[in-house]
Structure 1
Amino acid sequence: MADAAQAPAQRKVVLVGANPGVQLFHRDVVSAYASVWTVDWSAQGSGSAIVLWHDGEVRVLTDHSDLGYWLERTFTRFFPEAEGLPWPEPRIERRAVRVANDLARGTYARAGDVAVRIADVLDRRAFATDEYDLGGRVHSLSLVTGPSAVASIEVRGRRLPGEIIRAGTPERPSSSAFVAVAEVWRY
């Protein structure tokens, strides 16, 4: 019998939710990265989290510590946005997380001293793959994404340095900031 990790039709749903994100750049170097999670259901429960990489540190601000740790260890650390960043063991901070996320207005997330804003959605399109490699474990992923024109990450009321990078064409824009909804991960 084929292993579920190798047979997409046999993969089980492990997470349903949303995961917008923003990657800031200063002179073509990543200066900050935030991955915002709202989990409606997962193998580790439901809840919200902000995973923040900045100054070589990883913070996970979450209302459910076990869920936040799982999101960072299983998903965020393996995303293309984190590739090449020094990624130490995360600091888990139990904080209430508030997230407003939709394809019309964008994303606003706040937890403790961290705020993430993503706005001016440029496009909305579906994405699906059965070949999303997360540290050697291949997953299936489907979602609707919205590359966005404006984004910021604040810590202690101070905007972190850096800007998003926009590319693509007017018909198919891309951005290092994006809204995401209807996200389903299978493994």
Structure 2
Amino acid sequence: MGLLATATPASAADGTTAAATDPALRKPILVGANPGLQLFDTSGSCTAYLSTWQVEWSTHGAGNALVLWRPDGVRVVGEDPHLALWLADHFVRHFPELDGLPWSAPKFHRSPVQVRLDLASGLQARGGGIEVRMADVLDRRAFATDQFPLADVEHSLSLVIGPCGRAQARVDGRVQPGEISLGGTPNRPSSSAFLATAEVWRA
């Protein structure tokens, strides 16, 4: 019994450990869309990261939300704090765009968030003093991985991504400083402003 207890972690009883190592056992935790916009100054430092969420279903409910990171703090906007703060803490704070950047306790602002996303034309989203626009969709391609770590826990992610050639964010009426970063190749362009839809997270 001692050897069995050592070889089989208690968490395996509920499938937690197995799901972390076997993607086939992972279950959906969120279905929706999550466009992202990262802006940089002339030195290459990030001036802002804006994560737009249109959640059709999740383990924490459904609805729209905006998560804004800036050097002066994190603002989260939505009508449901349970959902919006989970999106910020479980997902956004662990995204690679924010790797190495300070993360402060999010400040929640209760406000309706309107999102209009179109893979043909781009994105318009607004709420709680934040407005984001993306246009000039450069490409549309599928992406999937079973190795997307969030807080050192592997998640599975699938989506359709659409890098955009133009984007702008306004915060409290002022245009957020910084520019998007464009790269890739003509056949596979990349951008720090991107649409992401048909998005499924599994854990």
- Between the aligned partners of 2:62 and 2:193, the Cα distance in structure 1 is 24
Residue by residue over 1:18-41, the C-alpha shift from the partner in whole angstroms, topping out at 9 and shown as x without a partner, is 000100000200001100000000
Q: Does structure 2 conserve the Cα–Cα contact (< 8 Å) formed by 1:25 and 1:31?
A: yes
Gaps of 5+ in 2: 1-11
The residue type equivalent to 2:158 in the other structure is S
Matched, 1:79 2:95: yes
- Report the equivalent of 1:93: 109
The answer as to whether partners of 1:56 and 1:85 remain within 8 angstroms in 2 is no
Equivalenced residue count is 187
Q: CA deviation at 1:184?
A: 0.1
CA separation in 2, counterparts of 1:160 and 1:55? 12
Moved over 4 A (4+): none
Contact kept? 1:26, 1:162, Cα under 8 Å: yes
3-state SS, counterpart of residue 88 of structure 1: coil
Paired position in structure 1 for 2:7: none
Gaps of 5+ in 1: none
- Structure index of larger Rg: 2
- The 10-residue stretch of structure 1 (149-158 or 125-134) with the greater mean CA deviation from structure 2: 149-158
Q: CA separation in 2, counterparts of 1:56 and 1:78?
A: 18
1:55, CA displacement in angstroms? Answer: 3.0
Q: Tell me the TM-score normalised to structure 1 length.
A: 0.98
Match of 1:168 in 2: 184
**Residue identity (%):** 55
- Residue 56 of structure 1, CA deviation: 2.7
Q: CA RMSD in A?
A: 0.9
Q: Does the residue aligned with 2:93 lie in a helix, a strand or coil?
A: helix
- Counterpart of 1:30? 46
Structure having the higher strand fraction is 1
| AA at the equivalent of 1:104 | A
Q: How does 1:9-158 map to 2 (within 5 A)?
A: 9-27=24-42, 28-158=44-174
